[in-house]
Amino acid sequence: MAWVKPPNQPTVVKTKEQLFTSIHELAKKQTLKIGARGIADSGKTHLCCSASEFDENCPTFTKEDIPASPVYILETEGGAAQLAQNFPGRDIKVLNCYVSTGDPQMDCKASLDLMKEAINSLRDLERGTICIDTGTDLWEWIGGVLRLEILKVDLAARVAPSDYKWANAEYRSIMERCRAINAHFIITAVDSEVFRDAKLTPTGVYKADWQKWTPRYVDCVIRLMKEETKAGYTYRSFIEKFRHHRLEQRDFLAMDFITLYNIVKPYLRSVKV
């Protein structure tokens, strides 16, 4: 599409001083945008809820930080409210965005619209954390709207990559809205195993089931792992990506928001407030 000047509008040429801003003027308190992936029950929703503990009463909180409480969880699976009970007294608010049609099939468009409405309602936040739990379902809903509302095909129909332009733009719009809000942000994804062939031969390799560009929209991508041992289960985490710095240590035990924030905080801002 060509860009054209509206008719009868005078041309205004801005100077470089009007267009560019010094980094010293841009310096501000930084928020942390997180992508968290893992298999079921690996601690993704726990990570979201744990953000509620990072407020003015937290021992590591400083005046340079933005409180991560309250936490707003836009959930898709229906389990966040129960898990949040493990954080008594904390300010956690939950909205289940899953909308059913009344039969076994869900309403992808109504679910997507509800999530977008919720994000829009949070646009003026000055503190807190917005959580999309999960981005896997969000991407599935967008794919459902693409098939049913735009392409007019069956929900299970295969879609050519060239037909995903609308879906990619819709997902990006949601990510950019969340990034623009002055609050911390967490989006989760369920991992699925990559199979070797059509016979579903396992490989032991897992990938995040979210839109493939999701890591571009966050500062940090963390993989949460749950491993079975003779003594029970062990929870581990691995920082796969951090936008602002090459971390020397990236492998940790179970991760919560405060631990992760304290690890990356020294590198979040290059200019002091």
Structure tokens at 18: 């009007």
Angstrom distance (rounded) from CA 187 to CA 214: 9
**Main-chain phi, psi angles of 188, to 5 degrees:** -110, 160
Domain assignment present for residue 12? The answer is no
Residue 273 located in a structural domain: no
Asked, for residue 19, whether it belongs to a domain, the answer is no
Helix (H) or strand (E) holding 229: strand 220-229
Q: What pLDDT is stored for residue 101 in this prediction?
A: 78
The pLDDT of residue 86: 92
pLDDT number for residue 3: 43
Answer yes or no: are the C-beta atoms of 94 and 80 closer than 8 Å.
Answer: yes
The two three-digit tokens of residue 149, written as one number: 């509302």
Q: List the CATH number of the domain containing 68.
A: 3.40.50.300
- Assess if residue 22 is contained within a domain: no
The C-alpha atoms of residue 35 and residue 131 are separated, in whole angstroms, by 10
What domain count does the chain have?
1
Q: Is residue 236 part of a domain?
A: yes
Residue 197 lies in a domain: yes
* Token pair recorded at residue 88: 């008594």
Question: Which ranges of the chain have pLDDT less than 70?
Answer: 1-10, 23-29, 103-104, 199, 269-273
Residue 157 confidence (pLDDT) = 82
Contact residues for 139 (Cβ-Cβ < 8 A; gap 6+): 171, 209, 210, 211
pLDDT of the residue at 131: 97
Asked whether the beta carbons of 269 and 251 are under 8 A apart, the reply is no
The predicted pLDDT at position 27 comes to 54
Pairing of strands 129-133, 202-208: unpaired
Query: Is residue 82 included in any domain, yes or no?
Result: yes
Tell me if 112 is assigned to some domain: yes
- Containing structural domain, residue 71: 31-267
pLDDT score at 34: 96
